[in-house]
Amino acid sequence: MTISGWRFTAKLWPTVIAALVIITMIMLGNWQISRAREKETRQEQLNLLSNQPIALLPETPIELKNFQFRQVEVRGTYVPSHTIYLDNKIHRGVIGYQVITPVKIGRSSTHVLVNRGWVAAGRSRSDLPKIFTPTDQVIISGIAHSPTQKTLELSVETVAGKVWENLNLEHYRETTKLVLQPILILQQDDLKDGLVRQWDRPDSGSARNFGYAFQWFSMALAVLLLYLVLSVKRDNPKNT
């Protein structure tokens, strides 16, 4: 095709490759936008739920959607024998663990998982930090979250004794045989146990996702322009 002395000379495979790259980049940009909008929606939910009174966690089964992101309170006793340590958690540049301990609710057989906070790691996985755990009844307050936290797995060995790379509620339930509520409490009160509790808001980072989306769309445009530049040539006039 020739227009005003310019000829479009695109070939099949360069066109297919360019199209696939552009479509992939646009899809990644759209995904980043969807992630940003999810975080903004979550922000609105948090603003709404923060004005609600603290919910007392019952012994009877609950649904995650009715408690997620709400401030909750649970009364019961820790079960330290089932404590696990989530690996590769960084605080101020120091590697460590997040300590997860179930709490037996009241006198029932129902438990709830509590993320008690961060502690620095020892020299090896066999050298786990010693955590003070009250033995009498406690009142725990915090924010209810989904109990399944998926992060980057650095090895195929995702569970090594009490050290886990990820928290998966079903796997934890199968391992411990405990009856569990479908939430994880990010503990906020201070029990003088030496653990650090500085939780990131789950809605933070929407601006970063919009920035990533802009980068993907910009790269898609750059690939398109490069494809057009390489595919359009000027006809040389014939000598007469």
Give the tens place of pLDDT for each residue, 103-146.
Answer: 999 999 999 999 999 999 988 777 899 899 999 999 999 999 98
Asked if 148 contacts 168 with a C-beta cutoff of 8 angstroms, the reply is yes
Asked if 86 contacts 167 with a C-beta cutoff of 8 angstroms, the reply is yes
Q: How much is the average pLDDT of 197-218? A: 84
A 10 A CB-CB count for 9 gives 11
Query: Of 134, 234, 137, 233, nearest to 192 (Cα)?
Result: 134
Domain ranges of the chain: 2-41+208-234, 60-187
Q: Based on the number of CB atoms within 10 Å of its own CB, is 2 exposed (0-12), middle (13-18) or buried (19 or more)?
A: exposed
> Which helix or strand (DSSP H or E) is residue 36 part of?
helix 12-49
- Residue 34, CB-side half-sphere exposure with 13 Å CA sphere: 6
Euclidean distance between CA atoms 142 and 128, whole angstroms: 25
- Across the chain, mean pLDDT equals 86
Phi-psi region of 161 (alpha: psi -120 to 50; beta: other; left: phi over 0): left
Res. 221: pLDDT tops 80: yes
Asked if 96 contacts 128 with a C-beta cutoff of 8 angstroms, the reply is no
pTM of the model: 0.67
Instruction: Please write the tens of the pLDDT for every residue from 85-96.
Output: 999 999 999 999
Q: How much is the average pLDDT of 25-38? A: 93
> Which helix or strand (DSSP H or E) is residue 138 part of?
strand 138-145
CA 87 to chain centre: 15
Res. 22: pLDDT tops 60: yes
CA angle 9, 233, 24 (to 5 degrees): 55
Res. 14: pLDDT tops 90: no
Q: Which residues contact 162 (CB under 8 A, 6 or more apart)?
A: 83, 84, 85, 128
